[in-house]
Structure 1
Amino acid sequence: MIVRSVAEKDVAELASLFIAPPNPGKWKVAAAEIRLPEPLLDVTPVAPRADVLIVRMQLNDYPRHRYWEDGMTTPVRDVAAGEILFHDLRRGPRMVLDQPYHALHVHIPRAAFDAIAADSNAAPIRDFDYAPGVGFDDPTIAGLGTSILAGLGDSAVRNQPLVDHLILAMAAHVATRYGGMAPMSRGARGGLAPWQTRRAKEILSANLDGAVPLTEVARQCGLSVGHFSRSFRQSFGTTPHQWLVQRRLDAAKDLIRSCRMPLSNVALSCGFADQSHLTRVFTREVGASPAAWRREVQQ
């Protein structure tokens, strides 16, 4: 999956707010936080049509929201901060951008929904049930969106496995709630095969910084992301992200115990963003700061 964060200075690159990720593939999903304190456009141009659904979480109040799909205008409505809107890029969405705008856009291509349906033993989704240009409340999407925003803003590359999980969960929720996906039970599945277990551990351990997307780990194991995540939890009793965090902590403990390397270097060597990130996670999981733990083990 691709995760993108769009800052103010990058918005000029976007021909429209409704733009699909470049070269969308089977699992190419993008998350972008868009903040426009001073709107650059009046009516957004028509983006190239693509079989992509944008899940938009509005982060500021947007009164008098004027919106079109398939060239047809919708009633002018106020959109409140926290509300969710869907935009189907097959329908050429456009809106008037004449006031400050702040939103999270999550781009989910049709191929991703098809893969989720196949993995759930369900029929492919045809259309989504939503009213164009109308905001609605969905606590599940809002909660996942808030967590995705945190992942984009705090060492996005190192949080890649976690953000992958969040976007996948949002796509599955949208497919079930608004796409009518009805998974059919296939009985309990086992965990990873021994060779898959070894391969997953090799890849994750060699990339403690989390730079390898979960999709690539799953591909190396010959599984879809959803199947891999479930099987990994069944085999290890935890998620890939939690397992990776524990490996980072184990590596940090080894370095702290065996040498006098500065904690800032320990953090970078073990996949943490910086010393404060190491301290925060270490203290939460171990119950003592790295410096305090070093003094204790040396004594």
Structure 2
Amino acid sequence: MPHEQITMHAIAPRPAHVDTFGCTADRLSDDQALIGKDVQFYRKSSLGKRATQVVMPATDRGVLLGVALRGGHRRRIFDGRQARTHDFDNGAIYLRSLAVEYKADLCSDFDFMLVEISRAFIERVAVERGANTISLQPMAGHADPVLAHLAHAMVPVLQHPEQACQLFVDQLSLAIGAHLVHRYGPGAALPEDGGKALRRLPQRSVERAKEMLAARIDGNLSVGEVADACQLSRSHFTRAFRESTGQTPHQWLIERRLERAYALLRDTDLPLAEVAMVCGFCDQSHFTRVFARATGVTPGVWRRAVV
């Protein structure tokens, strides 16, 4: 009986997964995301895993902001046949249109907060701020302390995206969009310090906003919903609410949650996990972090001290 011939076939290696920004997944030490409708946040880092190059074809997704969360990164960015090397200190940014093909050699490890912003969002923010254009100047390696602060505020949110408060993310997105239009848009924008009286909310609008926020103490409420009820644009509402109350809507909501928590801790025997749920926190650990940040002690320690 003749031996059956066995044919050996080489198995081609599976290509490494490449994300929508041209980063190879197995070269990333951090790959976190919080996906919204118009603004998406990502943390991408390659610490200890050497990334070499990113290539990203042109898309119609809007603009991309990158903020270095630590210094020491260098990249060589290509523009046709020309290339230019940029160094990124902590807080340095790059800003580019996603409609332009992108290619860069990564010469060292990186740790960036990436913010992908739709064209519709930038256009809306520009209109709300009185700008007559939505084009933004491309940047690379430019220091921007404001965006650095906002990017670092998103770091804990991306670590626990299931605990993200929609109101906080909305406010942060609006702050980033307004800063980009004001700082990097060539069109005229409304002055930041003009007309305090015009920026304050009428008292009826303040009360309406507070009623809506208190009724949805779980935080599952967008800035847009409250702004619509007050018949204002989102950016105008946020600035006017802060001017009228001394707090952002998110800060006001957190204060109300804590007030409810103080009463429950003092007057009931509810377990801490149940107090957290009743007061709109995601879970007990989230409640403990926010409570300790406000008071300097944990809820359990506070309860034992006052009861």
Q: What is the TM-score of this pair, normalised by structure 1? A: 0.76
- Is structure 2 residue 36 aligned with structure 1 residue 31? no
Matched residue SS, 1:182: coil
- Matches of residues 107-118 of structure 1 in structure 2 within 5 Å? 107-118=116-127
**Pairwise CA distance, 1:204:** 2.3
Instruction: Specify the code of the residue in structure 2 equivalent to 1:110.
Output: R
Matched residue SS, 1:167: helix
Work out the CA distance in 2 between the residues paired with 1:49 and 1:16.
Answer: 13
- Is structure 2 residue 57 aligned with structure 1 residue 57? no
**Pairwise CA distance, 1:238:** 1.9
Matched residue SS, 2:219: coil
- Is structure 2 residue 131 aligned with structure 1 residue 122? yes
Work out the CA distance in 2 between the residues paired with 1:41 and 1:157.
Answer: 34
Matched residue SS, 1:204: helix
Which residue number corresponds to residue 191 of structure 1?
201
2:21·2:54 contact (CA, 8 Å) conserved in 1? no
- Is structure 2 residue 146 aligned with structure 1 residue 140? yes
Deviations 1:122-180 (A, max 9, x none): 3223342x45xx31212222122112223323556444323332332222222122213
Work out the CA distance in 1 between the residues paired with 2:164 and 2:100.
Answer: 35
Bigger radius of gyration = 2
Matched residue SS, 2:99: helix
Instruction: Specify the code of the residue in structure 2 equivalent to 1:260.
Output: D
Which residue number corresponds to residue 185 of structure 2?
179
Match of 1:15 among 15, 20, 29: 20
Instruction: Specify the code of the residue in structure 2 equivalent to 1:183.
Output: A
C-alpha spacing 1:78/1:238, structure 2 compared with 1 (3 Å): closer
**Unaligned runs of at least 5 residues, structure 1:** 1-10
2:39·2:115 contact (CA, 8 Å) conserved in 1? yes
Match of 2:85 among 76, 95, 99: 76
Deviations 1:231-262 (A, max 9, x none): 32244332101111111112212322332111
Work out the CA distance in 1 between the residues paired with 2:143 and 2:125.
Answer: 24
Which shows bigger deviation, 143-152 or 261-270? 143-152
1:15·1:47 contact (CA, 8 Å) conserved in 2? no
C-alpha spacing 1:161/1:179, structure 2 compared with 1 (3 Å): same
Instruction: Specify the code of the residue in structure 2 equivalent to 1:116.
Output: V
2:136·2:181 contact (CA, 8 Å) conserved in 1? no
Work out the CA distance in 2 between the residues paired with 1:97 and 1:193.
Answer: 53
**Pairwise CA distance, 1:81:** 4.5
Percent of residue pairs bearing the same amino acid type:
34
- Is structure 2 residue 272 aligned with structure 1 residue 267? no
**Unaligned runs of at least 5 residues, structure 2:** 1-15, 24-32
Match of 2:157 among 122, 147, 151: 151
C-alpha spacing 1:250/1:77, structure 2 compared with 1 (3 Å): closer
Aligned length in residues: 276
Deviations 1:205-254 (A, max 9, x none): 24333233323332344322111112322443321011111111122123
Match of 2:234 among 209, 225, 230: 225
C-alpha spacing 1:182/1:205, structure 2 compared with 1 (3 Å): same
Matched residue SS, 1:172: helix
Q: What is the TM-score of this pair, normalised by structure 2? A: 0.74
